[in-house]
């Protein structure tokens, strides 16, 4: 039996339409012959998410965005519909996060798995959230830097204005003179340093000898540490003895003795007493002198004429 031409044309047209529909959905990432699950999420702003953007779990593509529409309640919310082509279990507390998939700002949907034991079923609505994109991160990090840079520029401008106010022509001249004087001072210091280095180089042996003597002295101190300790202990005992001695009474008695000696010396100077008469009156001196002369004459006469004074008789 021959197939009529009209039937052939109709079947061909229907097949073409089916292929077109399948190809169109395939290009959108929708496979008509693969079982699918639908999930929804609500957002205040989808940030440029469009139909056919991928849906991933842990970096693996599991579906696509099938529609992005406003909520029928005219409340400004956006309803995003996801078609998942996998039966991977999704907990009911999972989150649908919109993020930037590349540097160009292309968007994608990531399902962040939750920890609830109850699984989400097809047609459920997941919690929607938007991840901070690279641009937003850069902006959020650059804004504080910009503010700090502006504040620094303002402070720098204030400093420059203050410097301009301070650096008057006379101040500039003084500053130049100061810098010139400082330069001369640095030259002098450099010369002093050179001379000091020369002196140290010439006296290096002497310095080394001093250091050796110092080390020897330190070693002697260390070896005589016990002797020094005993000496200090003895000094402490002497100090304690002196502190315990009746120095006050001794000093008082000494002061009295000195006072009496002063009185005695004063009386002698004034000619009081025998010692004073001896020192002040020369009559005693003359009498003693005469007596000495007479005694000398007597002794001379006794020597020359002993018979006048001594008589010897043998019978």
| C-alpha–C-alpha distance, residues 191 and 262, integer Å | 68
Do 70 and 27 lie in one domain? The reply is no
For 134, the token pair is 């690279």
DSSP-derived secondary structure for 9-68: HHHHHHHHHHHHHHHHHHHTT--TTS--EEEEEEES--TT--TT-EEEETTEEEEEEEEE
Do 78 and 53 lie in one domain? The reply is yes
| C-alpha–C-alpha distance, residues 108 and 55, integer Å | 6
Relative to beta strand 54-57, strand 37-43 is: unpaired
Give residue-wise pLDDT tens across range 238-255.
777 766 667 667 777 778
Specify if 10 maps to a domain. Answer: yes
Per-residue pLDDT, 171: 73
Per-residue pLDDT, 3: 56
* Terminal-residue alpha carbon distance, the chain: 227
| C-alpha–C-alpha distance, residues 283 and 286, integer Å | 5
Beta-ladder partners of 83: 38, 64
Domain containing 76 equals: 34-131
Domains of the chain: total: 4
At 66, give phi and psi (nearest 5°). -100, -25
Closest CA to 65 of 76, 77, 49: 49
Do 65 and 97 lie in one domain? The reply is yes
Closest CA to 47 of 141, 143, 129: 129
| C-alpha–C-alpha distance, residues 80 and 51, integer Å | 9
Closest CA to 108 of 62, 49, 61: 49
Quick check: 96 and 39 in contact, CB under 8 A?
A: yes
Query: pTM, whole model, 2 decimals?
Result: 0.38
Specify if 64 maps to a domain. Answer: yes
Low-confidence residues in the chain, pLDDT < 50 = 1-2, 313-315
Do 122 and 148 lie in one domain? The reply is no
Collapsed DSSP state (helix, strand, coil) of residue 79? strand
Specify if 235 maps to a domain. Answer: no
Residue 71, C-beta contacts closer than 8 angstroms, at least 6 positions apart:
42, 77, 78, 79
Specify if 275 maps to a domain. Answer: yes
Specify if 264 maps to a domain. Answer: yes
- Residue 66 belongs to a domain with what CATH number? 2.40.30
Specify if 206 maps to a domain. Answer: no
């Amino acid at each position: 039996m021959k197939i009529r031409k009209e039937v052939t044309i109709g079947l061909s047209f229907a097949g073409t339409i089916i292929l077109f529909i399948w190809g169109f959905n395939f290009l959108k990432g929708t496979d008509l012959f693969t079982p699918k699950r639908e999930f929804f999420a609500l957002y205040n702003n989808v940030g440029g998410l469009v139909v056919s953007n991928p849906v991933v779990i842990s970096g693996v593509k599991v579906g696509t965005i099938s529609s992005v529409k406003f909520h029928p309640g005219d409340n400004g919310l956006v309803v995003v519909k996801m078609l998942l082509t996998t039966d991977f279990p999704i907990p009911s507390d999972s989150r649908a996060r919109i993020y930037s998939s590349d540097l160009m700002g292309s968007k994608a949907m990531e399902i962040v798995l939750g920890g609830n034991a109850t699984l989400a079923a097809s047609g459920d609505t997941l919690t929607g959230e938007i991840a901070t994109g690279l641009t937003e991160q850069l902006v959020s990090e650059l804004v504080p830097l910009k503010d700090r840079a502006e504040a620094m520029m303002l402070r720098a401008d204030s400093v420059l204005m203050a410097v301009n106010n301070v650096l008057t022509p006379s101040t500039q001249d003084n500053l130049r003179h100061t810098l010139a004087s400082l330069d001369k001072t640095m030259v002098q210091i450099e010369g002093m340093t050179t001379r000091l280095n020369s002196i140290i180089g010439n006296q290096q042996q002497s310095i080394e000898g001093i250091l050796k003597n110092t080390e020897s002295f330190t070693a002697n101190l260390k070896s005589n540490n016990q002797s020094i300790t005993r000496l200090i202990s003895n000094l402490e005992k002497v100090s304690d003895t002196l502190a315990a001695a009746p120095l006050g009474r001794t000093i008082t008695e000494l002061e009295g003795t000195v006072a009496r000696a002063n009185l005695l010396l004063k009386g002698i100077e004034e000619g009081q007493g025998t010692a004073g008469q001896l020192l002040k009156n020369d009559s005693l001196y003359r009498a003693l002198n005469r007596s000495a002369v007479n005694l000398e004459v007597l002794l001379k006469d006794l020597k020359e004429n002993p018979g006048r004074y001594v008589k010897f008789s043998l019978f």
